Amino acid sequence: MLPSGKVAVLLLVVCMVSPEQVTSKKPICTKVQREKILEKCGSFIQPGHPTHLVSRDSQCCAAVRGVRDMECFTLLLTEKEKTKYSVEKIRALRGLCESDPPPSHKLN
């Protein structure tokens, strides 16, 4: 059995390594969110070309904004889904669906 001081230090280290997972009551992503994104974003995340652009006002982007961590979402994919959908395109959805568009650079 560890002395209480070592237990406290160990608990502190665990919280520092993954504070969100330890302190959060909500999971980072859920299977329900996965299903919703696959349904709403399916045409945007298929592998290969042509690449379909997603609108920030789309139902796809609304679903993406509900997920805190797209990497977590990709971990929930089955092997079959990983061949049907592009993991890289799924990861890119977060940036494509941000509420505010990135600042434009004007050429002089």
* Pick from 100, 49, 95: nearest CA to 71: 95
Give residue-wise pLDDT tens across range 88-101.
999 999 999 987 65
Give residue-wise pLDDT tens across range 39-90.
999 999 999 877 778 999 999 999 999 888 888 888 888 999 999 999 999 9
Contact between residue 76 and residue 29 where contact means Cβ atoms under 8 Å apart: yes
Phi, psi dihedral angles at 106 (to 5 degrees):
-90, 135
Residue 97 host element (H or E): none
* Pick from 104, 75, 103, 102: nearest CA to 87: 75
Concatenate the DSSP letters of all residues of 2-42 into one string.
--HHHHHHHHHHHHHHSHHHHH-SS-S--HHHHHHHHHHHT
pTM > 0.85: yes or no? no
Q: What pLDDT is recorded for position 40?
A: 95
Q: Is the pLDDT of residue 12 over 60?
A: no
**Ranges of each domain in the chain:** 26-96
